[in-house]
Amino acid sequence: MKKYSIFKYQIFLIITSISFCFYLLGPNYISPLNSEWLFSGDLSTYQLGWQFFKLDEWRFPLGINPNYGIYLNSSVVFSDSLPLVAIFFKIFKNFLPSEFQYFSIWILVCVYLQLYFSFKIIYKITNDLLYSAISSLFFGIATIFIHRSGIHLSLFGQWIILSFFYVELLDKNKFYYKSLIILLSTTIHFYFTIILLIIFFIEKVIDYFRNKKLIKSILIQTSIILFSSLFLMYIIGYFSLNLDDGLGWGYGYYNFNLNSFFNPVGQTNISEVIWSNFLAKREFQNGQIEGFSYLGVSGFIFLIIFLFNMFNKRNNIIYSNIKIFTICVIFLILSTSNNIYFDQTSIINIPLNKFFYAIANIIRASGRLIWPIYYLIFIVGIIFIYQNFQKKISLLIILILLLVQIVDISKGLNQYKLGKQYDQKNNQIFVKDKIWKGLSSNYEQIRLLEPQNQSKIYYLLSKTLFEEKFLKTDIVYLARANRQKIIDMKYKIVNLLDIGDLDLFHKTVFISDNINAVRHVFHIYQNKLNYYFRDDLWIITKKKINYNEVDNSNNLNDVYTHNFENNNSVNFNNFKIAGIGWDRKNLSDGLILEGYKSSLFLKIYGKNCSEESLLKIKINQYYSQNPYPINLKVFINKQFIKQILIDKKENDLLFKFNCLNGKKNSFYFHVENPISLFDKKNSLNRVKRSIILKNLSIIN
């Protein structure tokens, strides 16, 4: 009879899961054959990573995905494409429709497992089916759970934390199951692995202090988990990048605000979401939305119970009080980081040594580490009520609390109704011109003229990348990428352009939003290439896209014009004059030369412009202290002018040149020895810089 009752509640969980999944996705997005809801924001890279991975041959490590990123050492790990699921479905790639996506299936599985493991935890302790089934609904509607469904689908798998807590309640084989769960977490998202490993280490350290004879067993278990996790991570493709490329930026920025349990402000890729009908919005600082963890009104009650139970040492629920206390303290410290805020008020800001900061950035979005505490608050509160009240009364209390919670957070839940969180019709801007249609039928690759990870161009073209069938692209958004190769490729392209290499454009479309960089290409290749300006983007091809399409190369002849009468100078405070090879992020001090080669184009007028013009350029060193003089070569109108060693902070360069009056003059600067902050051991930034061009003038 009991088995039959459990079966009934399993049916209840399945029906509830399907219903709630339908609520989240709606009738359109629930289909695995509809990927329209994955076009924008972080969602787009999940599906694009899968699409390029599916079309590629099998490789080893199994998850590497070189065609989505080309030279970026990409894998499905770094596109957050759920490595386990991607590898599984790739086995059946010959049988899957081209438009297939597995994320709606993943959402259904996550909803079910979220309910299932929360049900199992509560039932294991209470042995009450009805109470456990009702209580599991708190976890199905948990704000931190639903919040991730609109932003990070891989992080929707929070059931894996609950499964780890459930295993702690088992009578035997705990280590075996915990090992499997930690290994499984590496195939879903590394943040889950970090969370589970920290909990595991806390458990073992406390076990050691309680019984030091366990040291051998603890060391063996720890070694098994670490080495097996690293081995599986290698097979999946985590180590396609260097260790330092796995270090990001943001620890202390994407953290937990001390108001987060009480702050109902969340977000989707579309808009801000206010979760509470009762509590007002509170402000936060920086990227602290990553620490979103609104408890809800009933959650506040559970928090009070949680604290009461822990400090009064009432009941050991899942863990002993000392383990729960240690888990909470450590995760609270890590999630708040060294930069502690309440609302927008800084309470403590502890500077970190750059090496400690680099290590801390493994968990740069540290606000996510609040999740174990959030779930423990609900588990302890729900079980405490059952253990301290009569059965019928506890059932009534939990029903009332569930109703209060639903009423409170219904305002937020409504923003996730029938796929509302994915509806980008009025928010996302994509390219629309007909020129993009069918582009992949003639070109195998679509690339950036100036390589970078997560460019603005990516968001404009993400839908096109979905719909077209390019074999390779570097127009990507990856969680991590090979920083050195991005920079190397950027400078390699400049070198290939410099020698007029046409093979660079073989079966490849290059895209740019920088007209000055495109002018540089046009200056070298002229009409050997085709140039189209559509949707505020430049398209460069070797072969005409369509004979009916209008080439816009005439626009590239128009360059910045300056009249040098009265010895006035050109100040480099805009990019109208810049060609390729300049840092485009900062104009306050002038043009910063990035890399080894750069160009300027300027149409010059004035009596000072002649065959014997005297050019004066004011140059500053970019770094206040360079380890060696900067070796600079200057070319004007394709003629070598001068080689200079720049060893002072400020420099005025004078030299003669043949000025083309009323025509375009080209200025090329070649630096043999630029350096980066990485070279100086000050940062992971590999961008090489050398000089700042302050102004240019022609002297009588």
The model carries a pTM of: 0.92
Q: Where are the beta strands (DSSP E) in 435-587?
A: 445-448, 472-473, 508-512, 530-534, 537-541, 561-563, 569-571, 582-583
Residue type, 352: L
Kindly write down the DSSP assignment for every residue of 353-369, as one continuous string: -HHHHHHHGGG-SGGGG
Tokens of 699: 């002297």
The pLDDT of residue 243 is: 77
Q: Where are the beta strands (DSSP E) in 215-262?
A: none
The pLDDT of residue 159 is: 98
How many helices and strands in the chain, by DSSP H and E?
18, 21
Domain 561-699: homologous superfamily in CATH: Galactose-binding domain-like (2.60.120.260)
Tokens of 271: 């808009």
* 8 vs 4: CA distance, rounded Å: 6
In sign, the C-alpha dihedral spanning 532, 537, 543, 547 is negative
Residue type, 563: N
Helix axes 103-126, 129-140, angle to 10 degrees: 140
* 377 vs 381: CA distance, rounded Å: 6
Residue type, 595: G
Domain boundaries, the chain: 2-30+102-422, 561-699
Tokens of 627: 């380890």
Tokens of 355: 């090496």
The pLDDT of residue 1 is: 45
Element (DSSP H or E) covering residue 457 = helix 456-467
Tell me the pLDDT tens digit for each residue of 551-607.
898 888 888 888 887 657 887 766 677 789 888 666 667 889 999 999 988 888 888
Give phi and psi for 546, each to the nearest 5: -160, 135
Tell me the pLDDT tens digit for each residue of 301-319.
999 999 999 888 777 899 9
What is the SS3 string spanning 99-157?
CCCCHHHHHHHHHHHHHHHHHHHHHHHHCCHHHHHHHHHHHHCCHHHHHHHCCCCHHHC
Positions in the chain short of pLDDT 70: 1-4, 424-427, 566-567, 573-575, 584-588, 700
Contact 72, 486 (CB under 8 A): yes
Cβ atoms within 10 Å of 597's Cβ, excluding its own: 22
* 462 vs 134: CA distance, rounded Å: 41
Tokens of 441: 């039928």
Q: Select from 604, 601, 590, 578 the least CA-distant residue to 650.
A: 590
DSSP 8-state assignment for residue 309? H
